[in-house]
């Protein structure tokens, strides 16, 4: 579910309510997430430590705790981080509950269990973050840099945009939207894009991600922010999920195709192969 905007909206909701508070304890649910630290490790490193800072890297949330400990959270496809007044009402199965100072529970709930919750002792760099590419809003990302990354490569631009080791945080929904806005066919081999194309791709990436954050993210089925609210950006999607409907720009029927096992939505007229 959550791509960069959704994770950022969750972060923005947590910062004023959670940052500075102490973690009192952790309750571990029955079923483990695909990547979850051993209960012993969670119990050893988390209780008693204040949350100093909450950082986002790509689709990961990194909680910096007192004493150099860090807690890495990834929401996978269906993960939610819900802030609840204690005692947490009996929701659907919850995988982890972080009990916070001041009568708050932070519940991690994830039906499909593709999520991650990993603790790292002081001085240990969270391994998954080594794979995370550059932030789309970073000054380190320029059209020239993107062109360099793409040079000599043949993979489709859609797959390139979704490769989190290059640009972090873009998933299946926003990749389709970005390519529609940039008027590029999703199958275009990246090595074939011009600097002008990359300039457009970057501009549209930033514009769309920013707008999605401002609208509270996109809810297509499961996504809720930390307050349990849906996003609103689904109302502004121009191609994603609009298979067989008229293009908002030209009226042509929006098409769907499979790329890397995922659905891509695009307008065959607005986004022609070059």
Partner DNA sequence: CACCCCACCTGCGTGC
Partner DNA sequence: TGCACGCAGGTGGGGT
Catalytic site positions: 2-3, 59, 262
What 8-state DSSP symbol labels residue 245?
S
Is residue 140 near DNA by the rule CB under 7 A? no
Site pattern 1..30 for DNA (x: CB under 7 A): xxx--x------------------------
38/169 Cα distance (integer angstroms)? 27
As given in the structure block, the two tokens for residue 1 are: 């579910």
* Interface pick for DNA out of 48, 67, 124, 153 (rule CB under 7 A): 153
The binder of DNA chosen from 19, 43, 159, 199 (CB under 7 A): 159
Please report, for the chain, how many H helices and E strands are present, in that order: 6, 11
Residue 142 neighbours by CB under 8 Å, 6+ apart? 202
Which of 90, 140, 154, 244 is the binder for DNA (CB under 7 A)? 154
Strand partners, 240: none
List binders of DNA among 219-258 (CB under 7 A).
219-223
126 binding DNA? (CB under 7 A): no
The residue whose two tokens read 């769309």 is 208
Q: How far apart are CA 264 and CA 52, in angstroms?
A: 39
Residue 18 vs 162, nearer CB to DNA: 162
Q: Is 99 in the site for DNA (CB under 7 A)?
A: no
272 closest CA partner among 180, 154, 152, 172: 180
Q: Is 207 in the site for DNA (CB under 7 A)?
A: no
Cα(137)–Cα(134) distance, rounded to whole angstroms?
8
> CB under 7 A: which stretch of 83-91, 94-102, 214-222, 247-255 binds DNA?
214-222
Note the residues at the interface with DNA (CB under 7 A): 1-3, 6, 31, 34, 58-59, 74, 76-78, 111-114, 128, 131, 153-156, 159, 162, 164, 171-173, 190, 218-223, 260-263
């Amino acid at each position: 579910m959550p791509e960069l905007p959704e994770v950022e909206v969750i972060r923005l909701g947590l910062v004023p309510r959670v940052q500075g508070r102490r973690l009192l304890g952790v309750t571990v649910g029955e079923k483990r997430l695909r990547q979850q630290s051993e209960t012993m490790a969670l119990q050893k490193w988390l209780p008693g430590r204040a949350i100093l800072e909450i950082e986002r890297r790509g689709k990961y949330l990194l909680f910096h705790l007192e004493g150099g400990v860090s807690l890495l959270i990834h929401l996978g496809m269906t993960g939610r981080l819900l802030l609840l007044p204690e005692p947490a009402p009996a929701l659907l199965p919850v995988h982890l509950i972080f009990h916070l100072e001041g009568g708050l529970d932070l519940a991690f709930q994830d039906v499909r269990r593709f999520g991650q919750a990993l603790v790292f002792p002081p001085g240990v760099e969270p391994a998954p973050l080594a794979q995370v590419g550059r932030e789309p809003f970073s000054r380190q990302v320029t059209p020239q840099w993107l062109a360099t990354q793409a040079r000599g490569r043949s993979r489709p631009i859609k797959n390139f945009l979704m490769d989190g080791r290059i640009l972090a945080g873009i998933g299946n929904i926003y990749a389709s939207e970005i390519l529609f806005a940039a008027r590029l066919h999703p199958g275009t081999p990246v090595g074939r894009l011009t600097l002008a194309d990359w300039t457009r791709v970057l501009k549209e990436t930033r514009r769309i991600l920013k707008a999605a954050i401002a609208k509270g993210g996109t809810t297509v089925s499961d996504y809720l922010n930390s307050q349990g609210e849906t996003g609103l950006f689904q109302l502004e999607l121009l191609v994603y999920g609009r298979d067989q409907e008229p293009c908002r720009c030209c009226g042509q029927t929006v098409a769907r195709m499979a790329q890397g096992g995922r659905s891509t939505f695009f307008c065959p007229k607005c986004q022609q192969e070059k």
